[in-house]
Chains A and B, each alone.
Chain A
Amino acid sequence: MKRGMWEDFTNPKLRTSALLLAFLAAGLIITNALSPAFRSPLNVQSILEQIVPISFVGIGQTCALIIGSVDLSVGSLVSAISAIAVKVIPPQSATINDVLFWLALAISLSIVVGLLNGLLINILEAPPLVITIAVGFLVQGLTFSLIQRPTGYIPRSIFGILAHNVGDLFPISICWLFMIATLIHLTLMFTRFGLYLYAVGNNKKAAQVSGINVKKMIIKAHMLTSLLAGIGGIFLTIRLGSGNPTGGAPYTLDSVIVALLGGATFAGGEGNLWNSIIGCCIFVVLDNALKMLQISPFIQYVVKGALFLIAVLIHTSKQRGRVPGT
């Protein structure tokens, strides 16, 4: 019985996990061999810190993809949160209350953006792609009204338990990621919400006939996506220690790439948070390795593109094994 319980979601994904981990390990070993600076404590710490924000946004995006939607407003949301930070946290005389106020604003904004995405998708019955791009522009506009260029300084020390390093090296933000990801993963596996998320993504009509309130689920899923993206924004702001009105922009597409790398599809109904996080690790390590090996930025884009193609290839080959008409 126990085994069956776990098999529900994990088993079909194990192959993907193994494949991704092997890929990650290969990347680590090769880069390590080529560049001694790669394993310096500072670099390791930097990699770990970079993994956190993209992972939050990535697992958020995974949730959107599972329900058969997509959220392209996440990047703007991340930027907005960093912009708000420099506005509400004074650099010199910051208190814990300022930080709490910022956190409350960030979380509320995230939820509102998710709600807006979900409501508009339901009301206008338009593709999520279009709606979330539009909402993204909206949020981006608001962000530019706060700050116009990278600016401000927020001392790391005021963030307390959000920004500590454990033993000088290990950023505590990784622990936050691990805890929240575990919570969301358990939610997907063991709650009604999780099952409905996959069900709606598989077959909207069947879900509706099964008595699932599909529209409500779409709203909830987008709220979850935005919330996780917002948390990603919080950790990015902490890492950068300043506000940047376009700092979140790359996260929009990067989050989609890592989710696809982790086994989610645009068709919906599948996806796994841990695989998405491994996807993030591959993404960040690769990015870092390319910088460490001093490869030209042009090539870096080519490598990103190749990674994206590999992600797509893995999944099409998985599907090619299936015979049509059976």
Chain B
Amino acid sequence: MSALLEVRNLVKSFPGVVALKGVSFQVDEGEVHALVGQNGAGKTTLVNIICGVIKPDSGDLIWKGEKILLQSPAHAQRLGIAYVTQEGSLFEKLTIKQNIIVGSEPVCFGFLINWQKASQIAQNVLNVLETGIDINRLVGELSFGERQLVEIARALYRANRLLILDEPTSGLTRDETEKLFRVIKKLRDTGCSVIYITHKLDEVFSLADKVTVLRDGNVVATKNVNELTPEELIRMMTGRDIAQHISESTMFVEPIIEIKALTTPYLKNIHLTIYKGEILGLAGLPDSGVEEFMESIAGVRGVQRGEISIGGRAVKIRSPAEGIKHGVFYAPKDRRRDGLFLPLTLLENITSSSLKQHSRFGILKKRDECAIANNMIELLRINPPRLHRRILFFSGGNQQKAIVARALTSGAKVLILNDPTRGIDIGAKNEIYDFLRTLAAQNITIILTSSELDELLLLSHRIITFYRGEISGEFVRPFSKEQILQSIFGEK
């Protein structure tokens, strides 16, 4: 096999950080090349250079044996390089069809769009992805998984040479993931190369031919996947061995939240008691009602019928603000869009839910604010510990910690975390697991869901499964993964 793309000694620095310190690697024709590394290792910078979004400070890109200087994403696209970004980059108010073709639409006379051909193209690409979504639907109406598919469809239509996928399976159901893998393998067989960025190591082993590990802006190694074990891969990524401890099975007796006959447009008659200091895992398919359940008890969504009591008192939580007053804090799934104030500093993001506590007559007591935030930074090991740095520049793991810090400063007794480790690397994940356990040990209740069932199995004291808006099962340690899966898929 010959080299399709070769990267030589790529260096890129941003104000304050050197993101790439001389990266070299090579993608052959018709291979699936996984790119792994912790957050901040430089993966995103590297692929941004490869697809022409940013220009390197120095170093060469060699495309099919010829040195190239990419001028723009359009230029990269003309060569056949397309990029599926990690954070949604779709046009919400356009249809699926328009989303797929925009930027390289079929035209006649150079300016008129051939909508008939566009429909065919869109339909064909979606057929390849084996999905039956109507191409005339607005993207804004689609579910998270469907959007991911549209993003991939967009890229597929453009790139016949090199497709760059950045964590394409986060948010996909098991079925959709399997479909995607089939498609990727099909593409590889037709000679298209794929650069596959992922945090999920099992995906590396089930899909990739080769894997390149990045750490701190350097390439640690490029290996054939079949010569590698998961343990070796983790060691290469983190530079150390990771010991994973499992939560102990414990008995909880003191209820904190009692839910009786909770009914909403998405949920039917939910009865559930949640205990102090418990880590409760919620599992279900994307449309099972898990997210709706979390949002209903946190006050994000309205409740039609039913009763929620917190600490023995019946309460009505009509908004997240009231939730916080009752000690219930919700951290949404899309932390960049719904959870953080990106242009604000770490300090402001930590204290934004508790400003009342450290202000007098509406005037902030800056010193109190900083003291509390510094405590949190120490407790949660947020790195770098710089209060006045914009949250935007922190890694995903540290951003998630900032949200938990906000919850804790607001005096939360119950943390509701929607996929807290989404898009976070293994090292930071383990840190998050550690402090969630520490918090639980301090009698704080944690309700969480995750796109990875293994994470729930590792972390939870108890797992509740949802199916079509109803509770379909309850499991305590030791868990049987088989039974939980059956319950998630609604099989008795």
* Alpha-carbon separation in the docked complex, A1 to B90 (Å): 24
Q: Given A209-B53, A211-B77, check contact A1 B116 (CB 8 Å).
A: yes
Inter-chain contact A209/B91, CB cutoff 8 Å: no
- Number of chain A residues close to chain B: CB under 8 A: 34
Inter-chain contact B91/A269, CB cutoff 8 Å: yes
Inter-chain contact B138/A199, CB cutoff 8 Å: no
The contact string, 1 if C-beta is below 8 Å from chain A, for chain B 69-83, is 000111001000001
The one of A7, A269, A325 in contact with B333, judged by C-beta atoms closer than 8 angstroms, is A325
B100 to chain A, nearest CB (A): 10
Inter-chain contact B102/A5, CB cutoff 8 Å: no
Q: Given A1-B119, A190-B113, A325-B338, check contact A210 B102 (CB 8 Å).
A: yes
A64 to chain B, nearest CB (A): 16
Judged by a CB distance under 8 angstroms, whether B104 is at the interface is yes
Inter-chain contact B104/A211, CB cutoff 8 Å: yes
* Alpha-carbon separation in the docked complex, A71 to B334 (Å): 33
B411 to chain A, nearest CB (A): 24
Judged by a CB distance under 8 angstroms, whether A46 is at the interface is no
* Contact residues in B for A8 (Cβ distance below 8 Å): 95, 97-98, 115, 136
Inter-chain contact B332/A192, CB cutoff 8 Å: no
Near A by CB (< 8 A), chain B positions 119-141 give: 119, 135-136, 138, 140
* Contact residues in A for B138 (Cβ distance below 8 Å): 12
Judged by a CB distance under 8 angstroms, whether B483 is at the interface is no
The one of A5, A195, A203 in contact with B89, judged by C-beta atoms closer than 8 angstroms, is A203
Judged by a CB distance under 8 angstroms, whether B356 is at the interface is no
* Alpha-carbon separation in the docked complex, A131 to B411 (Å): 45
* Contact residues in A for B93 (Cβ distance below 8 Å): 198, 202, 269-270
Inter-chain contact B73/A211, CB cutoff 8 Å: yes
* Contact residues in A for B98 (Cβ distance below 8 Å): 8, 195, 198-199
Judged by a CB distance under 8 angstroms, whether A193 is at the interface is yes
Near A by CB (< 8 A), chain B positions 92-107 give: 92-95, 97-98, 102-105, 107
Inter-chain contact B291/A325, CB cutoff 8 Å: yes
* Alpha-carbon separation in the docked complex, A207 to B136 (Å): 19
The one of B73, B113, B140, B333 in contact with A192, judged by C-beta atoms closer than 8 angstroms, is B113
- Number of chain B residues close to chain A: CB under 8 A: 43
Judged by a CB distance under 8 angstroms, whether A208 is at the interface is yes
Inter-chain contact A209/B89, CB cutoff 8 Å: yes
B99 to chain A, nearest CB (A): 9
Q: Total A-B residue pairs with C-beta atoms closer than 8 Å?
A: 103
Judged by a CB distance under 8 angstroms, whether A165 is at the interface is no
Chain A CB within 10 Å — which of B89, B104, B291 has the most? B89
Judged by a CB distance under 8 angstroms, whether A266 is at the interface is no
Inter-chain contact B95/A212, CB cutoff 8 Å: no
Judged by a CB distance under 8 angstroms, whether A87 is at the interface is no
Inter-chain contact A206/B91, CB cutoff 8 Å: yes
Judged by a CB distance under 8 angstroms, whether B442 is at the interface is no
Inter-chain contact B102/A190, CB cutoff 8 Å: no
* Contact residues in A for B53 (Cβ distance below 8 Å): 209
* Alpha-carbon separation in the docked complex, A203 to B92 (Å): 8
Judged by a CB distance under 8 angstroms, whether A15 is at the interface is no
Q: Can you pick out 7 interface pairs between chain A and chain B where the beta carbons lie within 8 Å of each other?
A: A4-B119, A192-B113, A195-B102, A198-B98, A203-B90, A210-B103, A211-B72
> Other than the known A4-B119, A190-B112, A325-B332, what 5 A-B pairs have Cβ atoms closer than 8 Å?
A7-B136, A192-B105, A199-B98, A207-B91, A208-B73
Taking Cβ atoms with an 8 Å cutoff, the residues of B that contact A are: 51, 53, 72-74, 77, 83, 85, 89-95, 97-98, 102-105, 107, 111-113, 115-116, 119, 135-136, 138, 140, 143-144, 154, 291, 295, 300-301, 332-334, 338
Taking Cβ atoms with an 8 Å cutoff, the residues of A that contact B are: 1, 4-5, 7-8, 11-12, 190-196, 198-199, 202-203, 205-213, 269-270, 322-326
Report the 5 A-B pairs with minimum CB-CB distance, sorted nearest first. A210-B103, A211-B74, A202-B91, A206-B89, A211-B103
